[in-house]
Amino acid sequence: MKSAKSQAETFTFDIVVVPNARKTEFAGMHGERLKLKLHAPPVDGKANEEIIRFFSQTLGVAKSQVRISRGNLSRMKTVEVTGLDHAKVISIIGSLMQ
């Protein structure tokens, strides 16, 4: 995951989303980005809310610790997670991708 960056306790990574999937789950890689299938439709911010819910639940952090820093209206997004170290985020996401 070359597109991941860590700064103090903020971990940033790039994703590409596929809305309207049967369930929300990781779907491998899309180039340098994590591919995430979303159950939510891409209307009224529902997909962005689902991204925040999914990562907060998956990583075990509060929703306030997850934010979309770029790409609010795009399928290509940058997500920031605060309060977890780089190694822990990589470990959790890596285990779910296998």
Give me the domains of the chain, ranges plus CATH numbers.
Answer: 5-97 (3.30.1200.10)
Return the bridge partners of 18, or none.
37
Closest Cα partner for 34 from 49, 17, 19, 56? 17
pLDDT 10s digits, 43-63? 999 999 999 999 999 999 999
- CA-CA distance, 34 to 12, in Å (whole number)? 12
- pLDDT, residue 89, reads 86
Q: Which residues of the chain have pLDDT under 70?
A: 1-8
**Phi then psi for 92, rounded to 5 degrees?**
-65, -50
* Sign of torsion over alpha carbons 6, 53, 32, 75: negative
